[in-house]
Amino acid sequence: MMSLPVMKAEGLTKIYGIGCPVCRESTGPGYETNICRECGAVVACGDISFELYPDEVLGIVGESGSGKSTLVKLLYFDSEATHGAIYINDSADNVLSLSPFQKRRIRNSRMGMVYQNPHYGLRMEVTSGGNISERLIMAGWRNIAAMRARASYLLRKTEIPVLRIDEPPANFSGGEQQRVQISKALSNNPSILFLDEVTTGLDLSVQARVLDLIRALQSNLHLSVIVVSHDLGVIRLLTTRTMVMKYGRVVESGLTDQILEDPQHHYTQLLVSSQL
Amino acid sequence: MKLDNYMKRKESRQKAVEYNFAFLDESAKKEIRRKILKAVAVPGYQVPFASRELPIAKGWGTGGLQITLSIIGSGDVLKVIDQGCDGSVNAVNIKKFIGRVTGVKTTTVTREATIIQTRHRIPEERMSEDQILVLQVPFPEALRMVEPSELETRRMHGEADYSRMWLYLYEDIVRYSEISIGARYPVTVNGRYIMDPSPIPRWDIPKLNMADTIYIFGAGREKRIYAVPPHTKVEPLEFEDFKFRVEDFTGAACRRCGSADTFLDEIIDEVSGRRIYQCSDTGQCDLSNGKIS
Ligand SMILES: Nc1ncnc2c1ncn2[C@@H]1O[C@H](COP(=O)(O)OP(=O)(O)OP(=O)(O)O)[C@@H](O)[C@H]1O
Ligand SMILES: [Mg+2]
Ligand SMILES: [Zn+2]
């Protein structure tokens, strides 16, 4: 029997700009643009629906500007959706209609995010232990020793020497910063983790270590993960299901292996053949 | 200008003196009293108010002064202190000004006063429910040290999103093995708002908690009023394993009155070059010293 989704999105749309009645119908892969011809608004994401299941790793792949980062920002409440709904677990309430305070509580207790740019996810001048503790503080932790024990555990898990707990991430290498971000994202035992291009910009050997780490964490911690990447290698390695995006729309979705073996959409075929 | 002179002139319809009792006009006082009521209704919440011009520069206690002027009546007895001291130039000037525009009696004895306006200290003597303490506030926003934007600090208060303040304390402990904040130690009021208690020493923070007295805070330059009503929980921010502590004067005593249980100012003796101590609360010190009975 199929279990219930941990997260469900319906018709998620994000329009940058004032927008007009024809924004959605005049953009997308069919028009080869995400810019509305009438009003010039950018339809960064249009009518995106999907379900994310427990323990599942869902990939989002697509070229630069296709709306991948925008989509995870909507899911993490970093950015406000223009239309659409998000449901968490089996709740019938659209979480997008909750107050900012309630959204933040859901985000802090259920979700973790690793940003493409570590500057978004970390306070570079605050110690790495402090960065991790911030989320614990949000969850009501008020014991320094307990927070430091939890931060040490997470740093060990993400292969950062615990000795560096009181150093700011500003001192760290790119790969180390991503691992501190992962520690921070995992601090509250989230059930959903968003990874936006975690390995972009890292050396190949560092990339491989970070990917191994994510695989190990995912299977140990029973996480549902959304992995954003324009790298089909990363998608193949980490995900079981994939959505392919172009001009703000999902053009194809299904099991990752099938999509990579037998792409249906013309764009996916191009993507697969160009990266083999 | 004595009040009776002022009244006489008014009676004789000489319009030479144009100000009202307590200087502010009644509508200004009413507006400020309304804001005080709101502040009392939402303990620790900063209520904006329209700060008036006074013949004292902003930043010299005009927030506290406007509160005092708005609540004072002719039967009140006023005490004004600056860093605990009744005799400091600022305290004396403010006291003179209020005395002149109201004609009220003034005192240096805490228990005799009905209104005490203060900067940087709360009197040592426990105050009663018949007294009002008005504090002058230079920087009303406790979150300013972690967030420069007013829009953002308002949102943080609105959503009780205080994790960054706590993170600041965490980092402080990591760096210095203790919380290094001295004056302006942040407190949680009534389990809800984080509040700047004004630059009082940590020594005075416990006096805010479950007090019999009402505390009203006024920031003139930043145009904010806030309050701690009587019997309100006021808790300094602290961790389970790093507790808030007041200043430690172990082994020290006031050179004038010998007190070892008051907040002491440290001074260097000019003759001997030695470190000596004396009560910061001069009214209290005079009392224990027998100067006033
Ligand atoms: N704040 C913004 N204002 C206007 N347009 C924006 C804004 N943010 C993103 N966009 C536009 O939305 C579209 C989607 O951007 P997004 O960052 O989601 O792409 P992406 O798929 O993550 O690309 P990349 O692979 O380069 O990270 C782009 O056309 C982008 O220019
Ligand atoms: Mg992106
Ligand atoms: Zn349009």
ipTM: 0.87
Q: Helix A174-186 and helix A144-157: axis angle, to 10°?
A: 130
Return the pLDDT at B51: 84
Q: What is the pLDDT of residue B292?
A: 61
User: Residues lining ligand 1, judged by CB closer than 6 Å?
Assistant: A 16, 34, 42, 44, 62, 64-70, 230
**Which ligand sits nearest to residue A66's alpha carbon?**
1
Which residue from A101, A104, A130 is facing B171, i.e. has the nearest CB?
A130
CB contact under 8 A, A129 and B166: no
- Give yes or no for residue B197 having a pLDDT over 90: yes
A interface with B, Cβ–Cβ below 8 Å: 100-101, 104, 123, 126-127, 129-130, 133-135, 137-138, 142-145, 147, 166
Of the pLDDT bands very low, low, confident and very high (cuts 50, 70, 90), residue B8 is: low
Return the closest-CA partner of residue B123 out of B71, B81, B66. Answer: B81
Mean pLDDT of B84-101: 93
User: Rounded to a whole number, what is the distance in Å from the CA of B192 to chain A's nearest CA?
Assistant: 14
Judged by CB atoms closer than 8 Å, whether chains meet at A144 and B164 is answered as no
Average pLDDT (B170-198) is 95
pLDDT exceeding 90 applies to what percent of chain B?
A: 82
Q: Is pLDDT of B21 > 50?
A: yes
Contact status, residue B279 vs residue B259, Cβ threshold 8 Å: yes
Of all residues in chain B, the one with the smallest CA distance to A145 is: B241
Residue A130, amino acid: G
Q: A70-88, pLDDT tens digit by residue? A: 999 999 999 999 999 999 9
Is B85 catalytic? The answer is no
Q: Known catalytic residue: B75?
A: no
Most confident of A69-73, A216-220, B265-269: A69-73
User: Measured between alpha carbons, how far is B106 from B115 in angstroms, rounded to an integer?
Assistant: 10
pLDDT average, residue stretch A44-56: 96
pLDDT in tens, A152-171: 999 998 989 999 999 999 99
Atom of ligand 1 nearest to the CA of A70: 18
Q: What is the pLDDT of residue A276?
A: 66
Indicate where chain B has its CATH 3.40.50.11310 domain(s): 3-147+150-236
The DSSP bridge partners found for residue B235 are B188
Q: How confident is the model at residue B3 (pLDDT cuts 50, 70, 90)?
A: very low
DSSP SS3 for A100: helix
Strand runs labelled E in B59-213:
77-82, 105-106, 115-119, 132-136, 187-189, 193-195
Please tell me the distance from the alpha carbon of residue B220 to that of residue B225, in angstroms, as a whole number: 9
Task: Write out pLDDT tens, residues A125-143.
Answer: 999 999 999 999 999 999 9
Q: What is the mean pLDDT of residues B172-198?
A: 95
Whether residue A215 is predicted with pLDDT greater than 80 in this model: the reply is: yes
**What pLDDT score was predicted for residue B103?**
94
Q: Return the pLDDT at B1.
A: 44
- Order of all β-strands in the sheet with B234-236: B193-195, B187-189, B234-236
DSSP β-ladder status, A241-246 and A111-114: unpaired
B118 closest CA partner among B143, B137, B140, B144:
B137
Name the fold adopted by B3-147+150-236.
Answer: Rossmann fold (3.40.50)
Instruction: Report the gap between the CA of A187 and the closest CA in chain B (Å).
Output: 15
Please spell the DSSP secondary structure of A13-74, one letter per residue: EEEESS--TTTTTT-BGGGTBSB-TTT--EEEEEEEEEEE-TT-EEEEEE-TTSSHHHHHHH
Which residues of chain B are at the A interface, by a Cβ-Cβ cutoff of 8 Å?
Answer: 155, 159-161, 163-164, 166-167, 170-171, 173-174, 239-242
Residue B14 has pLDDT above 50, yes or no: no
Q: Which residue has the tokens 């329009």?
A: A15
Whole-structure pTM value: 0.88
